[in-house]
A and B are shown apart, each in its own frame.
Chain A
Amino acid sequence: DQQVKQNSPSLSVQEGRISILNCDYTNSMFDYFLWYKKYPAEGPTFLISISSIKDKNEDGRFTVFLNKSAKHLSLHIVPSQPGDSAVYFCAASVGGNTPLVFGKGTRLSVIA
């Protein structure tokens, strides 16, 4: 049973527009959430995180929103750039510095 779900396997967005990647989770004990970006033949690269005590965290073009009641989080990238094309993974953990549970990823393609 998947505890972290990314229901869109792929997303295509025009350059300059907003990309919205979604993630749902089922385990109400999760209290720390992260987004990673992955290029082929490389390891995942950390993008942004959010603790369950917050509902929004922003870092440059990247913003993560957390809706605890809906057990849903989203990553907004604005404006989208061609270099953002990659697979994005949502991950969650219980208690911080503990093993991460990942979704299956969403492949983002930003078209120039």
Chain B
Amino acid sequence: GAGVSQSPRYKVAKRGQDVALRCDPISGHVSLFWYQQALGQGPEFLTYFQNEAQLDKSGLPSDRFFAERPEGSVSTLKIQRTQQEDSAVYLCASSSPTTELASYEQYFGPGTRLTVT
């Protein structure tokens, strides 16, 4: 079946612009995670949802970052007044743990590369 998709794949924004990044999780996956990956680093957690509820947003670097998942499926990560330090790859992942298998793998999308000039 279809995997996690993200759009746009690449985004160039001028400093101060607002951007919106979209994530379509695997159909039926209840959990959705956002990560930020800087060059040469591993992904770092930003926020996550279970269905439409945002359970943890402790990784969001500032109040310019906002995420939503209003219907428990598609999610949008919004960054207001972008700064150069926001340049990174933004990764979305989804999972659907099954208690029988205790399977907690997260499946990642291809990411959105954001460049702020």
Contact = CB atoms under 8 A, between A and B. Distances in A.
Contacts, number: 60
Interface residues of A, number: 25
A46 B33 contact: no
Nearest to B104: A96
Interface stretch (B11-19, B36-44, B62-70): B36-44
Interface string B66-106: 00000000000000000000000001010101000011111
B111 interface: yes
B43 A44 contact: yes
Nearest to A51: B102
19 contacts: A32-B104, A34-B106, A36-B108, A42-B110, A42-B111, A43-B93, A43-B109, A43-B111, A45-B108, A49-B103, A51-B102, A91-B42, A93-B104, A98-B48, A99-B33, A100-B33, A102-B43, A104-B42, A105-B41
Interface of B: 4, 31, 33, 35, 40-45, 48, 56, 59, 91, 93, 95, 97, 102-111
Closest 10 CB pairs of A and B: A102-B42, A43-B108, A99-B45, A96-B104, A97-B97, A46-B105, A97-B104, A44-B108, A43-B110, A102-B43
